[in-house]
C-alpha cells in the first residue's frame, strides 16, 4: 500500500502505482495524475494492511506519517518511524558506535539562553524533527551564534504554517558537532530478513561551506563506484541496531577522507522527496517505488558496466526562505530552462503550496553546469505581488 499526500505526485509515480495495482490511500486532496486508473482505498484499510505478515507500506511524503500514530500507535512501523524520525532518539541509539560525536537537544527558548562558549564549534543546528534543509544552519564560531539563531527563529516562523508538526517541529532542536566529508543521499529498503537493498545513491553539491540548500544532487558511475560497498556495509549496521524489516528509508550520510560513515538523518517509510528519487530511472533504470513493492534488487555490477560517463542530476529550484510563497505571482519557467544543456524532465510545482517552484532532471558531461546552477540567483525568475523581495 502507498499513501499519497501533498505536495506532489509525479506522472511516473501515478503510472507505477496503476501498472502494478498498488492500493492507494489519498490524503488532503492531493492531485494524482490519471487517478481514475488507480485503486483508491479508505484510511481504515491501512489497519487491514498492517495486520498482514508481509505488509509493505510506502509514503510519497512525510506529511501523511501522522496517520500511523493515529490509527496504529503501537504498531512496529509506527514505533520504528518515531525512533528514526526523531534525530535525538536516533543519535542516542547510535551513540555506542559514535562515542565521540557531540549532540544535545534544546528548546527554541533555550537556544537564546545557551552559552555558545560551551559548544564545540563548528556546529550544526536543526529541528529535531525536520524535512529537507528547512531550519538547518551551520555555525563556525561563537561570534556567529546569536545572528544565526535569530535567522533560524525567523525561518521557523515563516515555515510553521507550511508543514505539520509531525514533519517539522519548530520548538525542539538538536545541536551537533559538524560532520566533515562528502554528503550522500541514499534510498534503500530492508528485506524481511533485514538485508539492505540500495536503490539510489545521490551525491550532494554545496555552493560554499555554509550552504545548506538542497538545490543540486547528482549521480554517476563514479559516485556509485566510490561509495556503494562502504554504504552497503554501514546499512547492515543500521539494520541490526534498529531491527529494520520491510522498511523503506531515505538516509543522508557523510563519508570522511578515511572512509568512515556518519549518518546525518533518516527519513522513514519514504524515498527522496517530491519525486526526486526518480532521477534513478533516468540515470540507471531503477524505479525505487516499483523495486520496493516487487522486492527487486538492482544488479549494481551490471548497471555500472552499462552506464555512460555522464552526470545525472536533479535541481530543486527553491524560493528563498525569506520570501512568503503566497506572495509569488508567477515563475518565468521558460527563461529558467535556458540554464540547462540537456533537460530530461522539467516538473513545475505549485509555488503557493511549497517553497520549491520546479524540479529539473538534467544531464551533463561534467560538473560545470551544476556549479553554475548552484550560484544562480533564482530571484530573477520570480515575480511577487510586491515590488521588492523581503
Do residues 71 and 157 both lie within one domain? Answer: no
CB of 265 within 8 A of CB of 87?
yes
What pLDDT is stored for residue 390 in this prediction? Answer: 46
Place of cell 537493498: 197
Do residues 20 and 93 both lie within one domain? Answer: no
CB of 72 within 8 A of CB of 120?
no
Do residues 241 and 340 both lie within one domain? Answer: yes
Task: Please tell me the distance from the alpha carbon of residue 121 to that of residue 118, in angstroms, as a whole number.
Answer: 9
Task: Indicate the residue among 60, 83, 106 that finishes a domain.
Answer: 83
Do residues 228 and 357 both lie within one domain? Answer: yes
Task: Please tell me the distance from the alpha carbon of residue 384 to that of residue 374, in angstroms, as a whole number.
Answer: 22
Do residues 77 and 114 both lie within one domain? Answer: no
Residue 148 lies in a domain: yes
Residue 282 lies in a domain: yes
First-to-final CA distance of the chain: 43
Task: Please tell me the distance from the alpha carbon of residue 112 to that of residue 200, in angstroms, as a whole number.
Answer: 39
What DSSP letter does each residue of 268-320 carry, written as one string?
A: ET--STTTGGGHHHHHHS--HHHHHHHT----HHHHHHH--S-EEEEEEEE--
Task: Indicate the residue among 156, 177, 198 that finishes a domain.
Answer: 177
Do residues 120 and 13 both lie within one domain? Answer: no
Place of cell 550560484: 375
Domain range for residue 130? 86-177
SS3 50: helix
Give Dmax (Cα) for the chain: 59
Q: What is the CATH number of the domain that holds 331?
A: 3.30.470.20
What pLDDT is stored for residue 166 in this prediction? Answer: 53
Residue 389 lies in a domain: no
pLDDT, tens digit, 9 for 90 and up, residues 183-215: 999 999 999 999 999 999 999 999 987 777 889
Do residues 123 and 261 both lie within one domain? Answer: no
Do residues 71 and 11 both lie within one domain? Answer: yes
Do residues 211 and 357 both lie within one domain? Answer: yes
Q: Helix and strand tally (H, E) in the chain?
A: 13, 18
Q: What are phi and psi of 329, to 5 degrees?
A: -90, -45
Angle value at C-alpha 382, between 381 and 383, nearest 5 degrees: 125
What pLDDT is stored for residue 323 in this prediction? Answer: 80
Residue 390 lies in a domain: no
* Number of independent structural domains in the chain: 3
Neighbours of 372 (CB within 10 A): 11
Whole-prediction pTM:
0.86
Q: What is the CATH number of the domain that holds 152?
A: 3.30.1490.20
Residue 325 lies in a domain: yes
What DSSP letter does each residue of 171-193 carry, written as one string?
A: TEEEEEE---SEEEEEEEEE-TT
Do residues 121 and 17 both lie within one domain? Answer: no
pLDDT, tens digit, 9 for 90 and up, residues 150-192: 988 888 876 666 665 555 556 789 898 888 899 999 999 999 9
Do residues 194 and 230 both lie within one domain? Answer: yes
Question: In tens digits, what is the pLDDT along the chain, a chain of 390 residues?
Answer: 999 999 999 999 999 999 999 999 999 999 999 999 999 999 988 888 888 777 899 999 988 898 998 889 999 999 999 999 888 888 888 877 766 678 888 888 888 888 999 998 999 898 877 666 677 888 999 999 999 999 888 888 766 666 655 555 567 898 988 888 999 999 999 999 999 999 999 999 999 877 778 899 999 999 999 999 999 999 999 999 899 999 999 999 999 888 889 888 899 999 999 999 999 999 999 999 999 999 999 999 999 999 999 999 999 999 887 787 788 999 999 999 999 999 999 999 988 777 899 999 999 999 999 999 999 999 999 999 865 444
Neighbours of 24 (CB within 10 A): 21
Amino acid at each position: 500500500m502507498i499513501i499519497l499526500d501533498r505536495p506532489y505526485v509525479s506522472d511516473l509515480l501515478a503510472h507505477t502505482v496503476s501498472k502494478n495495482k498498488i492500493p492507494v490511500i489519498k490524503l488532503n486532496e492531493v492531485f494524482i495524475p490519471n487517478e481514475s486508473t488507480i485503486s483508491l482505498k479508505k484510511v481504515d484499510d491501512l489497519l487491514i494492511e498492517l495486520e498482514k505478515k508481509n505488509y509493505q507500506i510506502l509514503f510519497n511524503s512525510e506529511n501523511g506519517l501522522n496517520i500511523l500514530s493515529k490509527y496504529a500507535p503501537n504498531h512496529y512501523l509506527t514505533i520504528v518511524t518515531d525512533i528514526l524520525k526523531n534525530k535525538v532518539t536516533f543519535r542516542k541509539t547510535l551513540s555506542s558506535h559514535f562515542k565521540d560525536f557531540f549532540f544535545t537537544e534544546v528548546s527554541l527558548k533555550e537556544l537564546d539562553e545557551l552559552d555558545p562558549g560551551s559548544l564545540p564549534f563548528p556546529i550544526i543546528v536543526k529541528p529535531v524533527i525536520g524535512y529537507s534543509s528547512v531550519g538547518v544552519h551551520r555555525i563556525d564560531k561563537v561570534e556567529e551564534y546569536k545572528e544565526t539563531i535569530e535567522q533560524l527563529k525567523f525561518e521557523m516562523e515563516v515555515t510553521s504554517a507550511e508543514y505539520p508538526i509531525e514533519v517539522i517541529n519548530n520548538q525542539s532542536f538538536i545541536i551537533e558537532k559538524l560532520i566533515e566529508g562528502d554528503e550522500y543521499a541514499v534510498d534503500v529498503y530492508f528485506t524481511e530478513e533485514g538485508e539492505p537493498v540500495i536503490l539510489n545513491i545521490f551525491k550532494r553539491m554545496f555552493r560554499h561551506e555554509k550552504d545548506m540548500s538542497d538545490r543540486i544532487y547528482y549521480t554517476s558511475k563514479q559516485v556509485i563506484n566510490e561509495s556503494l560497498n562502504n554504504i552497503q556495509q554501514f546499512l547492515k549496521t543500521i539494520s541490526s541496531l534498529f531491527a529494520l524489516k520491510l522498511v523503506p528509508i531515505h538516509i543522508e550520510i557523510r563519508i570522511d577522507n578515511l572512509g568512515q560513515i556518519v549518518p546525518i538523518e533518516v527519513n522513514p517509510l519514504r524515498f527522496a522527496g517530491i519525486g526526486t528519487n526518480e532521477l534513478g530511472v533516468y540515470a540507471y533504470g531503477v524505479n525505487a517505488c516499483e523495486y520496493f513493492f516487487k522486492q527487486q534488487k538492482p544488479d549494481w555490477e551490471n548497471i555500472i558496466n552499462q552506464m555512460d560517463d555522464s552526470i545525472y542530476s536533479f535541481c530543486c529550484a527553491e524560493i528563498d526562505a525569506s520570501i512568503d510563497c503566497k506572495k509569488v505571482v508567477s515563475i518565468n519557467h521558460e527563461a529558467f530552462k535556458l540554464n540547462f544543456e540537456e533537460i530530461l524532465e522539467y516538473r513545475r510545482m505549485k509555488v503557493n503550496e511549497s517553497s520549491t517552484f520546479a524540479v529539473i532532471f538534467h544531464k551533463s558531461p561534467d560538473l560545470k553546469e551544476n556549479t553554475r546552477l548552484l550560484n544562480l540567483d533564482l530571484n530573477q525568475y520570480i515575480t511577487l505581488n510586491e515590488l521588492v523581495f523581503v
